[in-house]
């Protein structure tokens, strides 16, 4: 799990995200925890790999230039992994 601070260069707005970089799957967010899953080959995951904690780094993302700072890195807990990597179930609809 990595907590990332992203500052947009044009607006200077800062955002904080918590990511789990996975080796498969799609980009998605767990609404209960706010944790985002990123496939390892996504542009953001590629930019994050190799960054040093607390060292701001200027990167170019598809949305534009940004300064990324890794604020913390930790191993995910087993419940986080179980929840985030569970197969996505289709929505259930009530029968009429």
Chain segment 25-74, per-residue pLDDT in tens: 667 777 777 888 788 788 778 778 778 899 999 988 888 899 999 998 88
Contact 20, 84 (CB under 8 A): yes
pLDDT at res. 67: 94
Q: Would you say the pTM of this structure is higher than 0.85?
A: no
What is the third-level CATH fold of 2-84?
Chitinase A; domain 3 (3.10.50)
Query: Mind giving me the DSSP string for the chain?
Result: -EEEEEEETTT--EEEEEEEEESSS--EE-TTT-EEEEETTSHHHHHHTTPPBT--EEEEETTEEEEEEEEEE-PPPHHHHHHHTSPPPPPP----
Structural domain spans, the chain:
2-84
């Amino acid at each position: 799990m990595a907590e990332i601070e992203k500052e947009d260069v044009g607006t200077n707005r800062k955002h904080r995200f918590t990511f789990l970089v996975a080796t498969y799957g799609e980009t998605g967010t767990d609404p209960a925890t706010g944790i985002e899953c990123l496939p390892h080959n996504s542009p953001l995951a590629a930019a994050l790999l190799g960054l040093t904690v607390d060292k701001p780094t200027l990167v170019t993302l598809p949305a534009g230039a940004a300064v990324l700072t890794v604020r913390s890195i930790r191993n995910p807990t087993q419940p986080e992994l179980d929840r985030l990597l569970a197969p996505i179930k289709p929505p259930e609809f009530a029968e009429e």
